[in-house]
Amino acid sequence: MHRSLPPRRVRAHLIRTVAVLAVAALHAAACAPDEPEAPALAAEGTLAVEGAQLRYWTAGSGAPVILLHDGPGYGVGYLLAGLEIPGFPPEGFMWVAYDQRGSGRSTGAERPELLTMDRFVEDLEAVRQATGRERVALMGHGFGGLLALRYALRYPEHVAAMILIDPEPASRALWERHRAIVESRRTDEARRVMEAVEADGYWRLDPRQVEIHTLAALEAFFGRPEAARNLRLGIPQSVYGNFPGTAERVRASLGDWDLFEALQGLPVRTLIVTGDAGPFPLEAHQRLHEALPRSELVVLEGVGHYPHMEDSEGFARAVKDFLDRITAPSAGG
């Protein structure tokens, strides 16, 4: 059983690992008048939104960077545990990590009619408002990357920059292709574990069985199998059973999405970091790069869905180089 991250450790991960992303907020400061600092978020707490209480953690003060986890339904614990990026200054910025509704420690699973992408976008806007700042930087992994794109399309004026870590594809047709890719990489041992769990018709109601099944399923998402052993989802056992239902409801709300045409007019500076052994077709990331007029694409060799874990040095270097460029005086507004 993997223990969930306690709040103190969560804050430590924020301070140690997310600092690099806060530099993106300098881009906003260079392009807009100075804003008075008026954060409404405490070091940790809950934020009331329609039909849910979002559990959040913050560290530091200054321009905000918001972390958006994969899933939907996991919670942010795994992302904080996997982001180990030393060597970046932590002072001068505020980092915000939160569990999306129906995920991790946040409530909302009991209101399935509100488990929609539109509601997730509005939840993110509520978090943005709670920071007291007009513009924030977003870092999204997997589903969190797709959420960042949907938010940026609705609220482009509030996004300073985006860093997308192997984001889910911007169309359902490309997303569907991951099923065959993942299945082709699944080991016999992982299949045996998943089938053994599924033999119990009530396994989705047992947090321990959900965890075993999920970790076995996610092994095929790694390009470097040895890194899969370090994955810690960080979901409290008491709410682990919520996330399969959250995932199903949110997926159903997406319909047959295709964002590529809309993204062509989105001017947000964006870094896409992925690997050549990811679960999504590389074509999906290439098309996203082509659609976003101010984007950069970095493809790490032998890396899958977790580039921050599978090649932490390459990931950190790509992020730092990107932020150096967008915050340079010549980058302008």
Find the Cα–Cα–Cα–Cα dihedral 151, 306, 133, 91, rounded to 10°.
Answer: -170
Residue-averaged pLDDT of the chain: 85
3-state secondary structure of 131: coil
Does residue 246 lie in a domain region? yes
Does residue 118 lie in a domain region? yes
How much is the average pLDDT of 236-243? 78
Summarize pLDDT for 88-142 with one digit per residue, the tens: 334 456 789 999 999 999 999 999 999 999 999 999 999 999 999 999 999 999 9
Does residue 2 lie in a domain region? no
Measured distance CA(159)–CA(267) in Å, rounded: 10
Does residue 166 lie in a domain region? yes
Of the candidates 280, 288, 285, 276, the residue with the CA atom closest to the CA atom of residue 178: 280
Question: What is this structure's pTM?
Answer: 0.88
Could you give the number of structural domains in the chain?
1
Question: Which CATH number fits the domain that encloses residue 104?
Answer: 3.40.50.1820
Does residue 237 lie in a domain region? yes
Does residue 1 lie in a domain region? no
Rg (CA), the chain: 19
Summarize pLDDT for 45-97 with one digit per residue, the tens: 999 999 999 999 987 777 788 999 999 988 998 998 887 655 433 445 678 99
Question: Which residue segment(s) compose the domain that 232 sits in?
Answer: 7-331
Does residue 30 lie in a domain region? yes
Contacts of 58 (CB under 8 A, 6+ apart): 14, 39, 41, 42, 43, 44, 94, 95, 96, 97
Does residue 219 lie in a domain region? yes
